[in-house]
Amino acid sequence: GQNIDQPTEMTATEGAIVQINCTYQTSGFNGLFWYQQHAGEAPTFLSYNVLDGLEEKGRFSSFLSRSKGYSYLLLKELQMKDSASYLCAVKGAAGNKLTFGGGTRVLVKP
């Protein structure tokens, strides 16, 4: 089975940097996804990592270490609109099933 852990909530100041950690234990691994979900809206795709290392995409970066079962999402130059939940999801080997963590709610303060 899959077990995915991420912090429940984080608070940061506008313009700052926040790092959201995600640890996972899986029986198979075919990649790790990060999604952003604003309150009352659908999750939207942010990033995908399948190999170790850092993937940078504008203000957002995602890192993966498969040997440690660890990923993080880095949000730079925080803006008020970044206040949302961030979901870590792991794709398993069987049928490419996506298993989500509980989400990290990020609150950006002025």
Partner 1 sequence: EAGVAQSPRYKIIEKRQSVAFWCNPISGHATLYWYQQILGQGPKLLIQFQNNGVVDDSQLPKDRFSAERLKGVDSTLKIQPAKLEDSAVYLCASSPGGDSTDTQYFGPGTRLTVL
Interface contacts to partner 1, rule CB under 8 A: 4, 30-31, 33, 35, 41-45, 48, 50, 87, 89, 91, 94-103
Question: How far apart are the C-alpha atoms of 9 and 44, rounded to whole Å?
Answer: 19
How many helices and strands, by DSSP H and E, does the chain display?
Answer: 0, 11
- For residues 13 and 44, which CB has a smaller minimum distance to partner 1 in the complex? 44
- For residues 97 and 109, which CB has a smaller minimum distance to partner 1 in the complex? 97
- For residues 42 and 110, which CB has a smaller minimum distance to partner 1 in the complex? 42
- For residues 13 and 96, which CB has a smaller minimum distance to partner 1 in the complex? 96
CB of 49 to partner 1, least distance (A): 11
CB of 110 to partner 1, least distance (A): 25
CB of 93 to partner 1, least distance (A): 8
Give me the torsion for CA of 26, 29, 33, 37, rounded to 10°.
-30
Given a contact cutoff of 8 angstroms between Cβ atoms, the answer to whether 84 and 18 are in contact is no
Distances (CA, A) of 17 to 49, 52, 77: 21, 22, 6
